[in-house]
Structures are given as structure tokens and as C-alpha cells.
């Protein structure tokens, strides 16, 4: 048995903050922190912030009598998992395009690193420590500014041959519908993301001759619906129908054990989740509903860090290292 405990760093790069944590091989977080990303800065400046975070965590690992065995990294954008680098640009971090995460960080520290898309990393966290703990056939759908997704089949993330799979926000729900930012037509992201909900709500208010009095967010819509406002309630009903149609496709394709809904919109509560279930149940083929769970994500803001540590630990041990 090794007397120096294997510890892992998890990094979660976002448009506003870099969140970072030190954890053990079960992705329990021992120490966590965050620093502003500086999303408008050049790549070198963003890596400098990342290096500070890693330096801190390496010292803290030593203080705890451990050593950093591997680093996991969740990034926005499409990530070439096998080479640990970005493919193309990310919308919210101007100069992060084509960032060579693995070679830059491994080159400096000599510690093995695995990088993946942030939606995949969060999916891994929910499947290993969160809402889908212990399950092997898992779908996650994250409802926010966009709609992200993750797919776990037989315990493994499905990335696609060019790492371009699991784009569950870009499932068609209307072949002759709204054009999407992705270049497609009628994607669920154009119907059930937060901006889509706000747009639909404003349209309904406008049709009723009303105007929204303040900045509208999805929270406004859910709180107005609780007060019984017809336009807010109709917006939520429609959103659930749209999600029901996309989820019916996903169920008929995968027949998973569980669907985990994450993102701000999912915080609306159990009633919203029940409405999504009802819409999905009306549309999906019955055998895929047997024993199916539809639940909210559990790990919240920690999901990116937890999942990055899961990724690092799993890849580290899969590469032949023995778990202590």
C-alpha cells in the first residue's frame, strides 16, 4: 500500500469563474475555490489563472499528506477528448478557441490531465455521485441559456466519433420550425431554453395587450404562474409540451434508466417536473416508461468540479494505476 494518498484536481472553466477543487478518488471535495476567468483576456492570461489555482491545490494536497495524481478539466465548447484540446471556438470565452489544455498543463506540471466538454463532465458527476448514482444508462438535459446534454450508455460517456454527439439541445422537434444558432431548424433549444421561454412569454403578454413591467427571467414566469397569470401558465405548459416531444424521441432511441434535468429552469420545482413527465408520458412508447426515473440534478454548482475529478480518477485508474 502506498503511504502517499492519491488526490485529484477538478477544474471547471466557465465564462465568469474558474471553479477548482481538490478531491479524493471518490470525488469527495476536500478543498474548493473560484477565481474570475477573465473571459475577455488572451489565452495566456486564462492559463495563468488556471496555473495559480493548480499551484494552490498542489500545496494543499501536500499539506494533507497527499499528492496530485491527475487533473480533470471541464471546458465549454467542443473538446477533442483523446488529445485534451478545444476544437474551434467557445461563444463566451473569446480567445479560448483551439486551446491545447492537455499539453499546456501537462507540460508545466508533469501530471496527467483529461479534458472534456462541460456537459459531459456534469453528466459524469450526476451518474457517479449525484441524481443517477449507481445507474449505467443515463441521459442528462441541462436547461439554461442553451440546452446541453450528456449520454451514458453501459456506464460510459457517449461522445461520438468526432466528439460531436450528445448535442441534445439540437434534437429537432419541428422540421419546419425556428432556425437555430447551430445551423439547423426547429431544435428544442429554440423552444425550451430560458431565452425561448422569455420570448414566448413576452409574445403572449403582447397578444393580451399587456407589457412586462420589469426585466423578465424564467423566475418571473414561474412566479407569475404561481399567482395564476394565464400567459405565464400557458408559457410553462407549452415549454413542457416541447420538452415532452424531445424527451419522447430520446426515450424511443435510448430507453434509459433515468433522465436528469439540470440548469436554472429545473429549479422551478416538482410541479414543473411533473408537467414534463406528463407531456413525455403522452408521447413516448410505453415500454420505455417502465421503471424510468425523471429527476432533477443534485450537484448544482459543484457538478463541474466533481465531474472533472471523476473523469481524472477514472481515466487515471483505467490507465493501469492501482487504487489505494
Q: Which residues bind a copy of itself (CB under 8 A)?
A: 78, 87, 137, 151, 153-154, 156, 158-168, 170-176, 182-186, 191, 241-242, 244-246, 248-257, 282-288, 290-291
Q: How far is CA 286 from the centre of its chain?
A: 28
CB of 192 to a copy of itself, least distance (A): 10
Nearer to a copy of itself, 162 or 211 (CB): 162
Partners of 230 in the β-ladder? none
Q: Least separation, in Å, of the C-beta of 287 and a copy of itself?
A: 4
Min separation Cβ 91 and a copy of itself, Å: 14
Q: Which of 265, 218, 272 is nearest to 240 (CA)?
A: 272
Q: In the sheet where 147-153 sits, what is the strand order?
A: 156-157, 147-153, 138-143, 258-262, 293-296
What's the closest the beta carbon of residue 291 comes to a copy of itself, in angstroms?
Answer: 7
What radius of gyration do the chain's Cα atoms show? Answer: 21
C-alpha span between 221 and 269 (Å, rounded): 13
Measured CA to CA, the distance from residue 25 to residue 6 in angstroms comes to 7
- CB nearer a copy of itself, residue 83 or residue 283: 283
Element (H, E) at 259: strand 258-262
Alpha-carbon dihedral sign for residues 186, 192, 193, 197: positive
By C-beta, is 230 or 253 nearer to a copy of itself? 253
CB of 154 to a copy of itself, least distance (A): 8
* Residue placing its CB nearer to a copy of itself in the complex, 67 or 283: 283
* Pick 137 or 321: Cβ nearer a copy of itself: 137
By C-beta, is 175 or 211 nearer to a copy of itself?
A: 175
Contact in structure between 140 and 149 (CB atoms under 8 Å): yes
CB of 292 to a copy of itself, least distance (A): 9
Amino acid at each position: 500500500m502506498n503511504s502517499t494518498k492519491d488526490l485529484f484536481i477538478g477544474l471547471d472553466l466557465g465564462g465568469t469563474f474558474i471553479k477548482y477543487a481538490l478531491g479524493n478518488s471518490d470525488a469527495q471535495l476536500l478543498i474548493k475555490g473560484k477565481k474570475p476567468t477573465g473571459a475577455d483576456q488572451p489565452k495566456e492570461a486564462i492559463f495563468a489563472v488556471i496555473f495559480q489555482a493548480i499551484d494552490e491545490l498542489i500545496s494543499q494536497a501536500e499539506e494533507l499528506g497527499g499528492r496530485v495524481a491527475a487533473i480533470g478539466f471541464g471546458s465549454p465548447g467542443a473538446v477533442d477528448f483523446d488529445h485534451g484540446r478545444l476544437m474551434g471556438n467557445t461563444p463566451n470565452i473569446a480567445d479560448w478557441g483551439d486551446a491545447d489544455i492537455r499539453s499546456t498543463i501537462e507540460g508545466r506540471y508533469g501530471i496527467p490531465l483529461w479534458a472534456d466538454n462541460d456537459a459531459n463532465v456534469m453528466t459524469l458527476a450526476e451518474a457517479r455521485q449525484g441524481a443517477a448514482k449507481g445507474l449505467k444508462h443515463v441521459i442528462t438535459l441541462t436547461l439554461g441559456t442553451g440546452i446541453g446534454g450528456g449520454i451514458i450508455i453501459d456506464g460510459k460517456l457517449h461522445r461520438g466519433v468526432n466528439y460531436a454527439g450528445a448535442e441534445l439541445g439540437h434534437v429537432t422537434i419541428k422540421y419546419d420550425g425556428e432556425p437555430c444558432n447551430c445551423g439547423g431548424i426547429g431544435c428544442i433549444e429554440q423552444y425550451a431554453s430560458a431565452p425561448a421561454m422569455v420570448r414566448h412569454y413576452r409574445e403572449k403578454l403582447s397578444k393580451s395587450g399587456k407589457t412586462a413591467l420589469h426585466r423578465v427571467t424564467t423566475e418571473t414566469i414561474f412566479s407569475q404562474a404561481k399567482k395564476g397569470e394565464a400567459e405565464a401558465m400557458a408559457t410553462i405548459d407549452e415549454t413542457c409540451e416541447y420538452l415532452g416531444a424531445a424527451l419522447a424521441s430520446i426515450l424511443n432511441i435510448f430507453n434509459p434508466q433515468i433522465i436528469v434535468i439540470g440548469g436554472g429552469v429545473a429549479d422551478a420545482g416538482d410541479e414543473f417536473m411533473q408537467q414534463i413527465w406528463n407531456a413525455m408520458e403522452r408521447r413516448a412508447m410505453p415500454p420505455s416508461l417502465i421503471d424510468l426515473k425523471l429527476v432533477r440534478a443534485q450537484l448544482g454548482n459543484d457538478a463541474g468540479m466533481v465531474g472533472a475529478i471523476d473523469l481524472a480518477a477514472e481515466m487515471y485508474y483505467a490507465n493501469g494505476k492501482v487504487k489505494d
